[in-house]
């Protein structure tokens, strides 16, 4: 084997080794990265939510709305005691904000279960229709979990969990509600999401 071939062979080994080290370092960096935490400031107090890495499309979608300020001064427009609180899409006059992004695919088959304190995407009867609205489970709601990749089985994608402020969630869930315009279970006293920011 000539010296040129030997040098070339060693260079290839070195390049492969460097690529491997880089990959390991990157993996380690990803593994040690802290999870994203979002603080939602409401007129009832603050709710702090830790987002999961298991639902990358859903999490990225939610963070877009957070970073753009979309959620600022929206309301929790649907509140059902012993079930959940829902917000992220309507203003205090119950006017729906236009969505700048298209609906996202349902990641219910690899998401967090809908247990107390878990935040999930709200949607229509179409499993893949979620945009900006979300809800926070007040109790365990296993019937909202993924069952199968069918119209009725997709469930609701849980992508975050409350790590501080469940007392605020419970307080919101306890407000008096009624029917306003075309919406049911609307708080009689507005529950305002003043802002949502990454901590």
The pLDDT tens digits of the residues spanning 60-93 come to 999 999 999 999 999 999 999 999 999 999 999 9
- Whether 102 and 13 map to the same domain: the answer is no
pLDDT digits (tens, 9 = 90+) for 110-128: 999 999 999 999 999 999 9
- Whether 11 and 85 map to the same domain: the answer is no
Quote the pLDDT of residue 34. Answer: 76
- Whether 93 and 128 map to the same domain: the answer is yes
- Whether 101 and 3 map to the same domain: the answer is no
Share of the chain above pLDDT 70, in %: 83
- Whether 11 and 56 map to the same domain: the answer is no
Give the CATH number for residue 109.
2.40.100.10
- Whether 115 and 20 map to the same domain: the answer is no
- DSSP letters, the chain, are --HHHHHHHHHHHHHHHHHHHHHHHHHHHHHHSPPPEEEEEETTEEEEEEEPSS-HHHHHHHHHHHHTTTTTTEEEEEEETTTEEEEEEE-TTSPBPPPSS--B---GGGSB---TTEEEE---SSTT-B-S-EEEESS--GGGS---SSTTTS---EEEEEEE-HHHHHHHHTS-EEEETTEEEEESS--EEEEEEE-
Residue 33: pLDDT band (50, 70, 90) is low
- Whether 60 and 77 map to the same domain: the answer is yes
- Whether 11 and 67 map to the same domain: the answer is no
pLDDT at residue 4 is higher than 50: no
pLDDT at residue 199 is higher than 90: yes
- Whether 1 and 71 map to the same domain: the answer is no
Number of domains within the chain: 2
- Whether 147 and 61 map to the same domain: the answer is yes
pLDDT digits (tens, 9 = 90+) for 130-170: 999 999 999 999 999 999 999 999 999 999 999 999 999 99
- Whether 105 and 29 map to the same domain: the answer is no
- Whether 3 and 85 map to the same domain: the answer is no
What's the domain range around 3? Answer: 1-33
């Amino acid at each position: 084997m000539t010296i040129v071939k030997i040098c070339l062979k060693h260079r290839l080994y070195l390049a492969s080794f460097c690529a491997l080290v880089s990959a390991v370092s990157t993996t380690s960096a990803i593994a040690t990265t802290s999870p994203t935490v979002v603080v939602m400031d409401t007129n009832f107090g603050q709710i702090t939510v830790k987002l999961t890495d298991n639902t990358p499309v859903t999490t990225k979608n939610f963070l877009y709305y957070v970073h753009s300020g979309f959620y600022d001064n929206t309301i929790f427009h649907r509140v059902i005691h012993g079930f959940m609180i829902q917000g992220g899409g309507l203003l205090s006059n119950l006017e729906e904000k236009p969505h700048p992004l298209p609906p996202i695919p349902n990641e219910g088959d690899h998401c967090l279960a809908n247990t107390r304190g878990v935040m999930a995407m709200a949607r229509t009867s179409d499993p893949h229709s979620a945009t900006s609205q979300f809800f926070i489970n007040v109790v365990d709601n296993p019937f909202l979990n993924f069952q199968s990749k069918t119209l009725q089985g997709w469930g609701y994608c849980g992508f975050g969990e409350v790590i501080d402020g469940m007392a605020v969630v419970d307080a919101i869930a306890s407000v008096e509600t009624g029917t306003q315009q075309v919406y049911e279970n609307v708080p009689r006293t507005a529950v305002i999401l003043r802002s949502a920011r990454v901590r």
